[in-house]
Amino acid sequence: MYIQDVEDLFGHARSYFGRDGSCRAYSSGGLWVKLQLHGVHVFYLQMPVGEMRADTVAFFHQVADGVRNHVFLGVDLSAIPNTQEDVEAAFGVIHRYSRLMLPDKFLAAFDALTPKELRP
C-alpha cells in the first residue's frame, strides 16, 4: 500500500500539488483530507471507510453542501487502488479537472504567481 494512513495521504497531497493545492483540514477519525485546488475547488481524499475495500482510496469533489462528485473527465475515483501509480494518476485527474473548470484569465493570473517548477 502506498498510503498508510490519513496523515500520509495529507503529506502526499501537499507534496504533489505544491502551491496549486492547499490541504485545508484532515480528520483521522473520518479518515479524509480536505484539499482546495487553485484557491477555488474543494476535494475530499478519503481512506477506506464502511464498505470500501481496504486497499483503495477515494477522491470526491464538493459540488455543493451535501453534494459530492466522484467521476472526473469520465474517470471514476470512488475506489482506486492504493498504489503510488494509481494515487498519483488520480491526483493528475483532479488537477486537470480543476484547471478545466476555471476561466483562462484566472489560470493565467494564478500561474503567473506560481513558478513553473513548483507546479505539478
pLDDT the model gives residue 14: 92
* Residue of 38, 41, 42, 100 whose CA lies nearest to 74: 100
Averaged confidence pLDDT in the chain: 89
- Confidence band for 115, pLDDT divided at 50, 70 and 90: low
Quick one: what percent of the chain has pLDDT higher than 90?
58
Q: How is residue 44 written as a grid cell?
A: 475530499
- Confidence band for 120, pLDDT divided at 50, 70 and 90: low
Q: Are 20 and 38 in contact (CB under 8 A)?
A: yes
- Confidence band for 119, pLDDT divided at 50, 70 and 90: low
pLDDT the model gives residue 97: 95
pLDDT the model gives residue 26: 81
Local structure of 26: helix, strand or coil: strand
Parse the chain into domains and list their residue ranges.
Answer: 6-115
- As a whole number, mean pLDDT of residues 63-72 equals 90
pLDDT the model gives residue 42: 92
* Burial of residue 120, with CB atoms counted within 10 A of its CB: 0-12 exposed, 13-18 middle, 19 or more buried: middle
Q: Are 24 and 39 in contact (CB under 8 A)?
A: no
- As a whole number, mean pLDDT of residues 34-49 equals 90
